[in-house]
Amino acid sequence: MSDRPSGNNLQPTDTDIQSLYTSIRNLAQTESTTEVLDNFRRLFIEGREYKDPRLRSILEKIVLSKQAERDFKIILYQSCQILIDYWYLESQSFDPILALIGLFENLPSSSVSASRRSSRWLQLVKNFSESEQYFKLKRFIRAIALDTNEISTEPLGDLINRYPFLYKHCLLDEDSRIEYQRTVRKMRSRNQRNCEVALAQYLTYRARLVQVARARQLSTSAGKLLRRVENPTLLDDDEIKAALKQCSLKNHTNWTAENLSIDFLTNPTHKLTYKTFKDNLYQYLIAIVDSEYGKRRFNKQLFDKLQEILPDCHSQKLSEFLILRTYTQLLNFLVVESPQNLNHSIFVDIIANLGTTQTAGFFLKLVLLYPKIKPHFENRLSLLFEYYEKIPQKRIDWLIKFLENLQIAFSITFGSVDLSALKLYSEVK
């Protein structure tokens, strides 16, 4: 869309679209939520006569234009984002957001007597309700939903609120408004903070129980004075204990000393050739994988993959480009390739052999080795989450437990909440 003159007088200009967005924002600021929703339905979904004929005219231009399939979807998507922004940030109202997204759940059937314009309008709305953009808006709702503390028969998608590291890729795309991106970032920060606080409170509670037990006061009233804090994860007591022990400071220290220096692997100022870097990386990774599993097949799979990556560059001096390219391709191999190729058999095989806790630890160590790949890792995981999001949770508890382990690992490693109770808790037998 452009302000340049066009032979197609139905093509709306950028000024038209911005005028539409401004009106939507003003509507949210000046009218009740009931009136906003009613007007939104009338203007966007039903295409009826509207109190501001100019806005209806702009939308009609879009519906009848050659680019209607794409432009109408984006404008409807961004108009929803404007309202969500306002209700989430300004009025802290969640019910209107639910009602807004619900407008697209039960759309009217096309009537034989409907005009060609009306039928086209309704079809465009239906296409939007089946689009990836609409699914991203629905995920936003789940991200602000109440938490759950057990794996249920509901679909995996209902758990998106538990994993803030998935928000950027599951909730946003290239057509998301800048203001909406800021909103999602704020929600990610808030939910991540909530996860960290809940984990810290649980660790503190468990650590105090340990202290009471060591003082041999557990049989007295001392233990009863502690306010019980429930496990905030979807892991059982043994699973969360294993996850926390793996993230202890002792293990963090050992990661850099098990085989070779992380600095030696990632600092391009060292006079390494690219081939030497890949050889070192291979040795580092196989050392943190169970030897039995590694010898059976993983070591060979990993070696072969590393040899495939930029083989013509083996004699070159190591550079930032070569490091980044290697890690991204390695993650594609270990997790999932792309939206077009969702084969993730290697990832499933690793979990089946190492378990969810060790697998999460393996990937955390890989991210710590080169933190710049963390966004790409999160992107790969978002592809898997979207692939399974309609599957009942009980059927994919292995993936949920992996995500829970990873959320704990990220909270401890990259979070800002005081987790000083971790060391004491990790010593619980």
| 208 Ramachandran zone, left/alpha/beta (phi>0; psi -120 to 50) | alpha
Is residue 74 located within the same domain as residue 215? no
The reported pLDDT for the residue numbered 115 is 75
The reported pLDDT for the residue numbered 160 is 96
The reported pLDDT for the residue numbered 270 is 62
Q: What is the mean pLDDT of residues 230-234?
A: 93
Is residue 340 located within the same domain as residue 250? yes
What is the DSSP secondary-structure string of 325-382?
A: HHHHHHHHHHT---SS----HHHHHHHHHHHHHHHHHHHHHHHHHSGGGHHHHHHHHH
17-56 pLDDT tens trace:
999 999 999 999 999 999 999 999 999 998 887 888 899 9
178-190 pLDDT tens trace:
999 999 999 999 9
Residue 162 resides in a domain: no
pLDDT grade, residue 269 (50/70/90)? low
Residue range of the domain that includes 84? 14-130
Is residue 244 located within the same domain as residue 357? yes
Angle CA(125)–CA(130)–CA(132) in degrees, nearest 5? 115
Is residue 107 located within the same domain as residue 189? no
Q: Which two tokens stand for residue 343?
A: 């084969």
151-207 pLDDT tens trace:
888 999 999 999 999 999 999 999 999 999 999 999 999 999 999 999 999 988 888
Angle CA(327)–CA(333)–CA(334) in degrees, nearest 5? 85
Is residue 295 located within the same domain as residue 203? yes
Query: b/e for 42-54, b at 16 or more Cβ within 10 A?
Result: ebbbbbeebeeee
Is residue 126 located within the same domain as residue 184? no
368-411 pLDDT tens trace:
888 999 999 999 999 999 999 999 999 999 999 999 999 999 99
| 142 Ramachandran zone, left/alpha/beta (phi>0; psi -120 to 50) | alpha
Is residue 188 located within the same domain as residue 86? no
Q: Dihedral (C-alpha) 12, 18, 22, 28: value to the nearest 10 degrees?
A: 70
Is residue 351 located within the same domain as residue 237? yes
Rounded Cα distance between 124 and 120, Å, is 6
pTM above 0.85, yes or no: yes
Is residue 87 located within the same domain as residue 198? no
Count of domains forming the chain: 2
User: Mean pLDDT over all residues of the chain?
Assistant: 87
Is residue 203 located within the same domain as residue 112? no
Q: Which two tokens stand for residue 253?
A: 């220290």
Secondary structure in 3-state letters for 173-220: CCCCCHHHHHHHHHHHHHHHHHHHHHHHHHHHHHHHHHHHHHCCCCCC
Is residue 209 located within the same domain as residue 288? yes
